[in-house]
Amino acid sequence: MSTPQSTENGRTLSKINKTRFCIAFFIFSFAWMLALQIVAAVLLPQRLADIAPDTKDAIFGVLNSATALASLISNLIVGNLSDRTRSIFGRRTPWIASGGVIAGVSLFLIGILPDGVSIGISYCVSMVGLNMMIAPIIASLSDRVPEDQRGTMSAFISAGTLFGSALGQIVGAQFITMQIPGFIVSGVAMALSGILAVIFWPKERSSKDMPKEKADFKGIIMSFRPPTKNSRDFWLAFVGRSLLLFSYYMILNYQLYILQDYIGESVKDSAATISTMSLVLMVVSLVSALSAGPISDKIGRRKVPVVIASLLLAIGYALPWLMHSPLGMILFSAVGGFGYGMYGSVDQALNVDVLPNEKEAGKDLGILNIATTLGQMVGPIVTSAIVVATGSYGMVFPTAIVMVLLACVFIMMIKKVK
């Protein structure tokens, strides 16, 4: 992993282009996550609590699962289609710019639609638009970034995501009693994420002259086949990532309800606690994300940060379970947030390193990104099922601990990556 690799134009990255990529990856990840967290972590659950207080948990679980499924399908399809796109603007750029607009408009509409069904449809459309950006952006790590710099780029993606997540919860909490302006802010931020990304990163080379893929029906269907040759490490990474994100989203998506229904805080107090948690998360995640990725590049290892991150996440999950207090949730943000930042900083670099065929990076990374979707989908379903079955969030935390430790085992079984 120490030998410099060439980029799409056959040269290593210049300092200015490396800087532009770092800025673009950070701004993109920050803006879309800021937008999503304003809605997903605060405004949407509070809106459901306002319009359907008796069934909010079940509806929220269904919405999270539906949007995760929309993300799963769209990420896979767009990743494949971006591999096959031939345009003067390149393979990835057209998808990124248009996806931001679609995601932004539909995210804003959630704030004015009157019922759970229409909100769910708009939310799903927003996830399609979001994955029109994410799939090509992540694929560009393979075809535009040298291998020995992917950890650094992954760190900037992770730092932007975590910073946006923390700030999004803070911003969302400010709009909890006046939601429409919050939905406007989220829609604008989402739309700008893709547009700013393609403005800041080095212009993508035209793909018009690249060999065209076979376009008949059989060829298109076959292009979606998952990798089977030399793919052991690929699938180990898939399972490990699924389990780790599964554990994280079990708690992340239910922070507001955990504070209100498990710990017993009021709406106002829970908003204040979320703001505190977000400030803590913002600091620790930036430190861990921006340090672990470059260190991973320097030492040529990906798995060591993942093991440490998994253990920190397990400790973070245990704290609110054992303490049963707002302080426990704040410490979850501190310890678990540091661990998640560390994992996220090397996650995408590890995923690119285990690709069986970099020529199909968009499609294969789309499959790996299904792991994110599975985590987003299964985590909330299990949390909702546990709450319905037990009447409490108590068993959610030990379940999450088991999942993250299993994730660590699968990732350690990878042989291709140190």
**pLDDT tens digit sequence for 136-182:** 888 887 778 887 777 788 888 888 887 887 788 788 888 888 889 99
Which residue has tokens 């710019």? Answer: 97
Give the Å distances, CA to CA, from 158 to 229, 290, 338, 341, 402: 30, 8, 12, 7, 24
The tokens for 353 are 């390193």
Total number of residues shown for the chain: 418
Return the number of other C-beta atoms located less than 10 Å from residue 402's C-beta. 13
Question: What percent of the chain clears pLDDT 90, i.e. is strictly above it?
Answer: 23
Q: Which residues contact 292 (CB under 8 A, 6 or more apart)?
A: 155, 305, 309, 341, 342, 345, 346
- Alpha-carbon distance of 288 to 306, in angstroms, equals 12
Domains and CATH numbers, the chain: 15-202+228-412 (1.20.1250.20)
> What pLDDT, on a 0 to 100 scale, did the predictor assign at position 220?
57
| pLDDT tens figures, 206-221 | 766 666 665 555 555 6
**CA angle, residues 59, 65, 67, in degrees to nearest 5:** 100
Nearest to 285 by CA among 41, 33, 28: 33
Q: What is the mean pLDDT of the chain?
A: 82
> What pLDDT, on a 0 to 100 scale, did the predictor assign at position 190?
96
Query: Which segment, 176-180, 183-187, 358-362, 368-372, is predicted with the most confidence on average?
Result: 183-187
| pLDDT tens figures, 68-105 | 788 878 877 887 787 777 878 878 888 998 999 999 99
The tokens for 339 are 């661990």
> What pLDDT, on a 0 to 100 scale, did the predictor assign at position 347?
75
Please state the three-class secondary structure of the chain as a single string. CCCCCCCCCCCCCCHHHHHHHHHHHHHHHHHHHHHHHHHHHHHHHHHHHHHCCCCHHHHHHHHHHHHHHHHHHHHHHHHHHHHHCCCCCCCCHHHHHHHHHHHHHHHHHCCCCCCHHHHHHHHHHHHHHHHHHHHHHHHHHHHHCCHHHHHHHHHHHHHHHHHHHHHHHHHHHHCCCCHHHHHHHHHHHHHHHHHHHHHHCCCCCCCCCCCCCCCCHHHHHHCCCCCCCCCHHHHHHHHHHHHHHHHHHHHHCCHHHHHHHHCCCCHHHHHHHHHHHHHHHHHHHHHHHHHHHHHHHHHCCCHHHHHHHHHHHHHHHHHHHHHCCHHHHHHHHHHHHHHHHHHHHHHHHHHHHCCCCHHHHHHHHHHHHHHHHHHHHHHHHHHHHHHHHHCCCCCHHHHHHHHHHHHHHHHHCCCCCC
Report the Cα 69 to chain-centroid distance in Å.
14
- Alpha-carbon distance of 187 to 178, in angstroms, equals 16
User: Which band of pLDDT confidence, cut at 50, 70 and 90, is reported for residue 10?
Assistant: very low
The tokens for 29 are 């990840």
Average pLDDT of the residues in 35-62: 83
Phi/psi region, residue 258 (left: phi>0; alpha: psi -120 to 50; beta: rest), is alpha
> What pLDDT, on a 0 to 100 scale, did the predictor assign at position 224?
62
- Alpha-carbon distance of 103 to 36, in angstroms, equals 10
| pLDDT tens figures, 290-318 | 887 777 777 777 778 888 888 999 999 99
Report the Cα 300 to chain-centroid distance in Å.
24
270: pLDDT strictly greater than 70? yes
Average pLDDT of the residues in 57-76: 81
> What pLDDT, on a 0 to 100 scale, did the predictor assign at position 375?
75
- Alpha-carbon distance of 351 to 392, in angstroms, equals 36
User: Which band of pLDDT confidence, cut at 50, 70 and 90, is reported for residue 4?
Assistant: very low
Which residue has tokens 């040298």? Answer: 146
154 contacts 29 by C-beta, under 8 angstroms: no
> What pLDDT, on a 0 to 100 scale, did the predictor assign at position 184?
94
| pLDDT tens figures, 368-408 | 777 776 776 778 788 888 988 888 888 999 999 999 999 98
